[in-house]
Amino acid sequence: MSENTPFRPRCHFAPRRGWINDPNGLVFYRDEWHLFYQYYNPEEVDGMQWGHAVSADLLSWTHLPPALAPDEHGQIWSGSAVVDREDASGLFGGRPGLVCLYTYWDKDDGGSQCQGMAYSADGRTFVKWPGNPVIPKLRDLAGHPADKDFRDPKVFRHGPSGSWVMVVAGGKLRVFSSKDLIHWEFESVDEATETECPDLFELPVAGAPGSTAWVLSGGGRWYQTGAFDGKHFTPGSPRIQMCGGPDWYATQTWDSAPDSRRVGISWLFGWGYGAGARAGRIANPFPTGPIAGGCLTIPCELSLESTPDGPRLLQAPVREFNALAGVTRIHGRIALPPGSAYAFEEGLSECLDVAAELTVPPGARVTFTVPVAAGGSVSLGIDNLRKALFIDRTGAASHGVESYGRRYETALAGRAGPDFSLRIVLDRCSLELFADHGRSLMSAFILPADNGARMTAEGDHEGCAVRSMAVRSLRPCINW
């Protein structure tokens, strides 16, 4: 496939070449949103490293040279970054700086893992701490088992304790604390929680003045709300699905975002396709040319709302994303009786942002259908019999990937009645759905046909209808 592959995303982040998976080191520093990510390009380095990009608006990203490359301790796996505002580390001469905490993966020691640190004053040039690792392998920590899985540190400042806190998993969830981001003290282990790519943050609860709750994310697969005292997370809810669909993982949020915003992003791809980094090469069954591993999701604003069952998470595209709207067509009421389909206008755009208000009577389903490039189609929509948001790839060409052609659904949170909102974002290799303003969401890797505006909508019961719909073309914002 040439460099001009039709499947390069226009509105979602991906590297210029090579493999991408987890977002790492998300931090706002010196008026820039920094995005690091798991990156592999055997033409550069035969090992996983941290790719790097920056943005002023969460939309247009400037690609920078990789920030952290493998060294004698191993490959550079997932982690996080923080702004050391008060120079607690003593590395920045009394001025603020960036500190990155990440996992070393040692292939020469059976894949054992430990935690390393690097720092940067300018956000461009990174120096690794000469005493790495700052936290050794578990077998070298007194009182811990010899497990090799010990990865994905998420670090943040915990105001009440005056400490930096690290939650690290890849196995059981462990908590460490530090006063200087260099010397770390073990605090606790949660024997009941095993995950990858943990995140832990506090949010105000809308509708409950003065109330906050902590949110623990298990790699974006699930979340719990609860309390955190600097050493232990105490759940206050069951595990709740954070996103449905086949392709949403490793969710992380930005540290030090302005206006106390909590903005997150996820990997929009998965490990079930037989794709990934291999020694000296990249396995990729999809015809996506010089990029592999899909892309990252739209950055989403995270918030909590009060419900009768306790605080619940909302995730919706950041407000900046609305700036990409190009040609917009507004539709009034469209009846969707059984046996008929409403066809979107052709020629609007190959990348779309569709905001629809739907009537889906109890027991009914409204389905949108998107043709895909290799033949067949992907369907998606609201199923008010199963009270579910769904994506169905069983009718799409599978590109020879056995796990591709399946149907996925996620529960519609707290739903009763026939009225729903649905936002559909379609790019060159991705599909994202947001129901009821981010209460339920899904994403999937798909390769649409040349013109996404060939989408159709249909109902299966009398009374199914689109009450109103805005169909927006999306202007490209990724600079290749």
User: Is-catalytic flag, 436?
Assistant: no
Which residues in 195-305 belong to E strands, given as ranges? Answer: 198-206, 212-218, 222-228, 233-235, 240-241, 249-253, 263-268, 276-278, 281-283, 291-292, 295-296, 300-305
Nearest one of 440, 444, 442, 441 to 430, comparing CA atoms: 444
Contacts 24+ apart (CB under 8 A), 238-244: 240/312, 240/313, 241/410, 241/411, 242/217, 242/218, 242/313, 242/315, 243/315, 243/410, 243/441, 243/442, 243/443, 244/389, 244/391, 244/408, 244/409, 244/410, 244/440, 244/441, 244/442
**Torsion from C-alpha of 162, 165, 130, 124, nearest 10 degrees:** -90
Task: Judge contact between 223 and 313, C-beta under 8 A.
Answer: yes
- DSSP H helices in 133-290: none
Count Cβ atoms below 10 Å from residue 386 Cβ, excluding itself: 13
* Residue of 22, 152, 255, 353 marked catalytic: 22
Please name the helix (run of DSSP H) or strand (run of DSSP E) that holds residue 116, with its range, or none. strand 112-120
Euclidean distance between CA atoms 268 and 328, whole angstroms: 26
- Give the pair of three-digit tokens for residue 431: 């599909």
Euclidean distance between CA atoms 178 and 156, whole angstroms: 10
- Give the pair of three-digit tokens for residue 89: 């580390």
Euclidean distance between CA atoms 343 and 338, whole angstroms: 14
**Torsion from C-alpha of 164, 312, 193, 268, nearest 10 degrees:** -90
270: Cβ–Cβ under 8 A, 6 or more apart, which residues?
Answer: 246, 247, 249, 294, 445
Catalytic residues: 22
